[in-house]
């Protein structure tokens, strides 16, 4: 059934490397690769101890468990055999973007530890390498053993954003796998998608044999075990799809399913942090040690899909976080650790965590970073804790809207005083640069709201100047960044159409022509790719064909602004008789059946409707970890928001 | 604070030969951090590990003898330092030696100004190969384009030695000096010797040694 004798194509790939830019993208062999994980699974590594950091005296003590990777061509993963489920986990963009993706890091670690499963990774090659592979008729291969992806049992692809469709086509085409799931026979891998875009799987459903909906740690592990068993029993492709469809959280487009329950990992707090992630040679994005300090967010911003689908809030404890950071930095040798979440300063023990880490790394060259600041003086004081006297970077805040009315519409729950207070605190604490994020085209937005962005920025700039000593005033800098609102499935704003392109361009122009202080830079996002995002975020199964058509016309790497070309998409749409503008701009009825209604388990549709109605009346819904329950429908006997520290 | 300059000798092999110099530097820095050695940190706007490297290797060139100097804030016995580094080395960047450099010793780029290379060639006939070596030794100067402008090098100032492995017709060895005014890559010299008369196909280039001339 499965070809387990596939050979490494490395001898054919390596000679091509002088012809491409950054060959290190394609070599794998990073420190701490899957052989280390295989050994970890068999219990060869110690670990568990709070490893000494940059401390010579402590080296003989616990010591960090370090096992080297094997050279390519030797045993990099459990030997592919008829016994093992051969899995490739794929990020559908280049290595530089995908290697540090946390979904990939977590699921790869998990898959490598499962008995009977061998896991590898794969990425999309950049344009130059893709051309060379096509010229030599070489199929796209995995990174670790350089075996063709088409010889694997299973491809797991993470779907990070709505512009991914053309990259999927490119990936399958380079891998010599039919683009459509219906075209794949017994000898080709099953293809499973997951991640943020799987919240509305319909638009990409033609590409996938199955989707894992929600958080993957448990559901995907169950699927791997079930498929490993199915392989041993020599089950056919339809039988394996049936097995997937019967698992909680799996949507199999070829099988009728009335409901699919979104999966969440209730025990997230106790789920182990990956402290020995793969260490890329390449200077990848997010090139630091990451710890997800909590999952979920109950602030309730009405545009935010991550905040709506990620509920409930589940925190890792301060002890777990501090230990993970110290172990992770010691094991990897990275010089920066990042405390990730949707709103990191909302962690109930954040002050303790940051104080302990600041104390530990005082005087070292280790940085602790906090990706998001709460828009108040507390947020600033937390950021100040970990950067010591080094306030060279900039602090980022997201007021999202210029007027109080519109901030209330989106349930941002912050006032102008909060914003100016945070700005003053940041400049008083020593920062000289801040970034303010806004959104254009939010529901109910008027010209007044756009003008208010400029007024707010000018006020903030003046407040910043007043907050610093006279001789520092010339150093005060600020930038504002305006993104375009994209309505997302499973949010209260899913019912709202996107503002038409022409109108968005007019609003961008309005912002550009307003009188900003000279010290403020303005950046804005091109609305045209946001339109494609809007088309896919709320689309149905007919969009798979649109993705294929656009790819055939040459679109790929659409998330790279210099690669994106709206004209291609318009041509593709007209060839299929589709109208992009009407798809993006369509308002949805509150009673109308939606392509993603069958996905249950997150916030209820009643809650989304209620929130939508509240938004139109600019009525706020408070954060349930700090005030009363908003009845979003997530919590039940098995699932509960765990943060209780804030409640009176 | 007393500072100790630990000179780490390592190789760049296997998949690592495709690393850029910057990637190599980052990988070695991380190895030093993992080792737990008490490295010195620069005091300044952007604190970082105090280190320096021997002359940068081009992407695709392997090496058996690279060096990295790391300043330590306290003395660690060389054997212990070597053990600590080896425990956490990357298998493609294996560490051979760790010894202290003298206080007054020149920087790595100055101290190691003679590089020996082994160039492997695919499919050369014996007489062609002998002829290539002869022509190489007869070369007197080489002109290469530097930032679009031709620059002429007097080969006598750069080429120290050239020899063939006995009984082997696929590898050539060159020893080259690097000088303050510039340095030459071995493949440039080889291509100049071959001129347009030979199709030469280089399968690998390895820096076999870095020494004081």
In this complex, is the C-beta atom of A31 within 8 Å of any C-beta atom belonging to chain B? yes
The DSSP secondary-structure symbol of A552 reads: H
Chain B nearest-CA residue for A58: B36
The C-alpha atoms of residue B28 and residue B47 are separated, in whole angstroms, by 17
- For residues B207 and B64, the answer to whether their CB atoms sit within 8 Å is yes
Other Cβ atoms less than 10 A from the Cβ of A408: the count is 19
The answer to whether residue A76 scores a pLDDT higher than 50 is no
The C-alpha atoms of residue A455 and residue A365 are separated, in whole angstroms, by 40
E strand or H helix that includes residue A402: none
| Candidates B14, B26, B31; nearest CB to A71 | B14
Inter-chain residue contact A333 with B31, CB threshold 8 Å: yes
- Average pLDDT in chain A: 88
Which neighbouring-strand residues pair with A214? A263
Nearest partner of B50 among B59, B36, B64, B40, judged by Cα: B40
The C-alpha atoms of residue B99 and residue A47 are separated, in whole angstroms, by 30
Query: pLDDT, tens digit, for every residue of A530-568?
Result: 999 999 999 999 999 999 999 999 999 999 999 999 999
Give the pTM: 0.91
3-state DSSP assignment of residue B5:
strand
- For residues A280 and B20, the answer to whether their CB atoms sit within 8 Å is no
The C-alpha atoms of residue A599 and residue A605 are separated, in whole angstroms, by 10
The tens place of each residue's pLDDT in chain B, 213 residues long, gives 458 999 999 999 999 999 999 999 999 999 999 999 999 999 877 789 999 999 999 999 999 999 999 999 999 999 999 999 999 999 999 999 999 998 888 888 888 999 999 998 887 777 788 888 888 889 999 988 888 888 899 998 999 998 887 666 678 899 999 988 888 999 999 988 888 787 888 889 999 999 988
The C-alpha atoms of residue A341 and residue A382 are separated, in whole angstroms, by 15
- For residues A329 and A337, the answer to whether their CB atoms sit within 8 Å is yes
- For residues A425 and A377, the answer to whether their CB atoms sit within 8 Å is yes
* Residues found in chain B: 213
| Candidates A17, A281, A333; nearest CB to B33 | A333
The answer to whether residue A354 scores a pLDDT higher than 50 is yes
Please state the three-class secondary structure of B54-73 as a single string. CCCCCCCEEEEEEEEEEEEC
Inter-chain residue contact A332 with B30, CB threshold 8 Å: yes
Two tokens, residue A278: 């793969």
The answer to whether residue A42 scores a pLDDT higher than 50 is no
Give how far the C-alpha of residue B54 lies from the chain's centroid of Cα atoms, to the nearest Å: 7
Query: pLDDT, tens digit, for every residue of A452-469?
Result: 999 999 999 999 999 999
Query: pLDDT, tens digit, for every residue of A289-300?
Result: 999 999 998 899
In this complex, is the C-beta atom of A17 within 8 Å of any C-beta atom belonging to chain B? yes
Please report, to the nearest 10 degrees, the dihedral formed by the alpha carbons of residues A101, A107, A110, A113 taken in order: -90
Residues of A in contact with B34 (CB under 8 A): 64, 66, 330-333
CA separation (Å) from A307 to A158, A343, A375, A491, A498?
Answer: 19, 10, 17, 9, 20
E strand or H helix that includes residue A70: none
Give the gap in angstroms from C-alpha A635 to the nearest C-alpha of chain B: 43
E strand or H helix that includes residue A630: none
The C-alpha atoms of residue A397 and residue A207 are separated, in whole angstroms, by 38
Tell me which of A77-91, A155-169, B16-30 is least confident: A77-91
Nearest partner of A450 among A363, A369, A512, judged by Cα: A512
Alpha carbons within 13 angstroms on the beta-carbon side of residue B32 total 28
Q: What is the pLDDT of residue A2?
A: 43
CB contacts < 8 A, A to B, total: 94
Residues of B in contact with A282 (CB under 8 A): 23
Two tokens, residue A286: 């997010």
Residues of A in contact with B185 (CB under 8 A): none
The C-alpha atoms of residue A256 and residue A205 are separated, in whole angstroms, by 13
Q: What is the pLDDT of residue B169?
A: 67
């Amino acid at each position: 059934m499965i070809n387990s004798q596939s050979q490494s194509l490395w001898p054919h790939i390596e000679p091509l490397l002088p012809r491409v830019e950054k060959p290190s993208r394609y070599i794998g062999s990073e420190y701490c690769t899957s052989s280390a994980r295989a050994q970890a699974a068999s219990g060869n590594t110690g670990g568990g101890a709070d490893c000494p950091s940059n401390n010579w005296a402590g080296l003989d003590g616990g010591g960090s468990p370090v096992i080297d990777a094997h050279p390519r061509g030797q045993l990099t993963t459990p030997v592919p055999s008829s016994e093992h489920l051969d899995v490739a986990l794929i990020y559908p963009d280049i290595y530089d973007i995908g290697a540090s993706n946390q979904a990939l890091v977590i699921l790869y670690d998990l898959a490598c530890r499962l008995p009977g499963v061998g896991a590898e990774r794969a990425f999309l090659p950049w344009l130059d390498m893709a051309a060379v592979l096509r010229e030599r008729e070489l199929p796209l291969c995995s990174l670790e053993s350089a075996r063709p992806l088409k010889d694997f049992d299973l491809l797991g692809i993470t779907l990070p954003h709505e512009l991914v469709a053309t990259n999927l086509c490119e990936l399958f085409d380079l891998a010599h796998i039919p683009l459509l799931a219906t075209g794949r026979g017994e000898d080709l891998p099953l293809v499973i998608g997951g991640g943020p875009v799987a919240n509305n799987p319909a638009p990409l459903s033609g590409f996938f044999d199955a989707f894992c909906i929600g958080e993957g740690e448990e559901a995907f592990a169950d699927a791997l075990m079930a498929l490993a068993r199915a392989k041993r029993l020599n089950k056919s492709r339809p039988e394996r799809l049936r097995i997937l469809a019967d698992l909680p959280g799996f949507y199999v487009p070829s099988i009728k399913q009335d409901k699919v329950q979104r999966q969440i990992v209730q025990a997230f707090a106790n789920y182990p942090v990956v402290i020995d992630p793969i260490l890329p040679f390449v200077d990848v994005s997010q090139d630091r040690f990451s710890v997800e300090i909590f999952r979920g967010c109950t602030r309730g911003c009405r545009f935010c899909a991550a905040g709506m689908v990620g509920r409930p809030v589940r925190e890792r404890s301060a002890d777990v976080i501090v230990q993970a950071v110290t172990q992770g930095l010691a094991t990897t040798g990275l010089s920066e650790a990042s405390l990730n979440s949707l709103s990191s300063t909302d962690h109930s023990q954040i002050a303790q965590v940051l104080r302990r880490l600041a104390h530990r790394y005082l005087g070292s060259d280790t940085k602790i970073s906090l990706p998001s600041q709460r828009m108040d003086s507390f947020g600033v004081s937390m950021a100040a804790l970990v950067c010591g006297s080094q306030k060279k970077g900039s602090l980022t805040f997201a007021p999202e809207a210029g007027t109080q009315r519109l901030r209330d519409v989106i349930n941002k729950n912050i006032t102008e005083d909060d914003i100016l207070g945070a700005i003053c605190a940041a400049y008083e604490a020593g920062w000289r640069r801040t970034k303010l994020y806004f959104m254009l085209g939010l529901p109910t937005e008027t010209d007044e709201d756009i003008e208010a962005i400029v007024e707010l920025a000018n006020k903030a700039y003046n407040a910043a100047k007043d907050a610093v000593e006279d001789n520092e005033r010339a150093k005060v800098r600020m930038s504002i960044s305006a993104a375009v609102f994209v309505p997302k499935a499973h949010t209260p704003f899913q019912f709202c159409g996107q503002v038409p392109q022409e109108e968005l361009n007019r609003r961008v122009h309005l912002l550009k022509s307003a009188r900003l202080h000279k010290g403020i830079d303005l950046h804005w996002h091109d609305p045209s790719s946001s339109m494609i995002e809007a088309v896919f975020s709320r689309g149905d199964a007919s969009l798979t064909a649109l993705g294929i058509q656009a790819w055939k016309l040459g679109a790929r790497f659409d998330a790279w602004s210099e690669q994106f070309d709206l004209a291609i998409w318009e041509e593709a749409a007209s060839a299929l008789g589709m109208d992009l503008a009407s798809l993006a701009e369509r308002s949805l009825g509150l009673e109308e059946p939606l392509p993603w209604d069958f996905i249950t388990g997150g916030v209820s549709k009643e809650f989304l409707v209620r929130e939508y109605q509240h938004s139109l009346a600019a009525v706020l819904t408070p954060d349930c970890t700090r005030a009363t329950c908003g009845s979003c429908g997530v919590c039940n006997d098995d699932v509960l928001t765990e943060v209780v520290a804030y409640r009176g | 604070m007393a500072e100790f300059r630990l000179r780490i000798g390592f190789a760049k092999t296997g998949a690592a030969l495709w690393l850029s110099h910057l990637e190599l530097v980052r990988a070695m820095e991380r190895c030093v951090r993992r080792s737990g050695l008490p490295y010195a940190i620069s005091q300044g706007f952007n604190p970082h590990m105090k280190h320096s490297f021997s002359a940068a290797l081009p992407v695709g060139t392997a090496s058996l003898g690279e060096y990295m100097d790391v300043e330590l804030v306290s003395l660690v016995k060389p054997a212990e330092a070597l053990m600590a580094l080896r425990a956490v080395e990357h298998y493609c960047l294996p560490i051979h030696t760790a010894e202290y450099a003298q206080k007054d010793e020149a920087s790595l780029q100055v101290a190691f100004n003679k590089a020996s290379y082994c160039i492997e060639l695919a499919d050369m006939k014996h007489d062609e190969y002998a002829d290539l070596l002869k022509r190489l030794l007869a070369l007197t100067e080489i002109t290469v384009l530097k930032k679009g402008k031709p620059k002429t090098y007097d080969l006598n100032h750069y080429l120290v030695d050239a020899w063939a492995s006995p009984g082997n017709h696929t590898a050539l060895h060159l020893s080259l000096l690097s000088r303050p005014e510039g340095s030459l890559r071995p493949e440039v010299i080889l291509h100049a010797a071959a001129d347009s008369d030979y199709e030469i196909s280089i399968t690998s280039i390895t820096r076999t040694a870095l020494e004081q001339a």
